[in-house]
């Protein structure tokens, strides 16, 4: 379960940054980029709290 959450989180970050480069190279529009960034944000904030802080506690 944890690995699934981490993968979704990484997808969230990829959706945040990768489409911006695609806008730069003319592959997608700025509007599409905004929608993908929103999807990325949801993926990140829904999943990251369940593994990130636990990892921090283990480190500490």
- Name the residues that contact another protein, by CB under 8 A: 12-13, 16-17, 19-21, 23-24, 26, 30-31, 33-35, 37-38, 40-41, 44-45, 48-49, 52-53, 56, 59-60
User: DSSP H helical segments within 1-60, as ranges?
Assistant: 2-24, 30-59
Q: How far apart are CA 26 and CA 38, in angstroms?
A: 20
Token pair 């940054």 in the structure block, residue = 17
Instruction: Give me the least distance between CB of 1 and another protein, in Å please.
Output: 18
Of 3 and 58, the one with the shorter C-beta distance to another protein is 58
Instruction: Give me the least distance between CB of 41 and another protein, in Å please.
Output: 5
Q: How far apart are CA 29 and CA 11, in angstroms?
A: 20
């Amino acid at each position: 379960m944890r690995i699934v959450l981490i993968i979704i989180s990484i997808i969230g970050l990829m959706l945040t940054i990768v489409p911006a480069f695609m806008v730069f190279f003319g592959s997608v529009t700025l509007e599409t980029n905004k929608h993908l960034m929103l999807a990325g944000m949801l993926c990140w904030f829904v999943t990251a709290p369940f593994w990130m802080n636990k990892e921090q506690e283990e480190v500490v």
